[in-house]
Amino acid sequence: MEFDAISQKVLGCALEVHRTLGPGLLETVYEKALAQELTDAGLQFAAQVQLPVIYKGRDLGCGFRIDLLVENSVVVELKTVDQLAPIHEAQILTYLKLSGHRIGLLINFNVPLLKHGVKRLVH
């Protein structure tokens, strides 16, 4: 499945979660609900994927967690903030760089209309 098709399916699942739950809940609730929608849509994914930081060939022993990695190709970072900020975009771009993946979706569920809380990023 190509990146655009995966991204569209993920966004459709996120829209269903937002339509059902609305804004105002914790990020973990949206992550679990989105995981259920992804499963129902037949998409393969992993949640809370460890992302080590490798510096000059050495693991620094610290790292990050990708909220969801869908079809082993699209990095999905979830937020529940008043509004997305440049630091959120920088975070997902860093995840893309460190993981070697090209496409990322930044989804903020704490908005009245989900379309105002979605950014697609390419590395």
Domains and CATH numbers, the chain: 3-122 (3.40.960)
More confident residue, 68 or 62: 68
Rounded Cα distance between 119 and 40, Å, is 23
Enter the tokens of residue 117: 């809380």
Predicted pLDDT at 2 = 81
What pLDDT is stored for residue 63 in this prediction? 86
CA–CA dist 78, 107 (Å, integer): 5
Nearest alpha-carbon partner for 108 in 88, 78, 66: 78
What's the pLDDT at 1? 57
DSSP state of 113: S
Mean pLDDT within 43-55: 94
**pLDDT per residue as tens digits for the range 87-104:** 999 999 999 999 999 999
| Average pLDDT rounded to a whole number, residues 30-38 | 98
Compute the distance between CA of residue 60 and CA of residue 66 in angstroms, rounded to an integer: 17
Number of H helices, E strands in the chain: 3, 5
Whether residue 53 contacts residue 60, with contact meaning beta carbons closer than 8 Å, is answered with yes
Mention every residue, 6+ apart, whose C-beta is less than 8 A from residue 38. 10, 13, 45, 68, 70
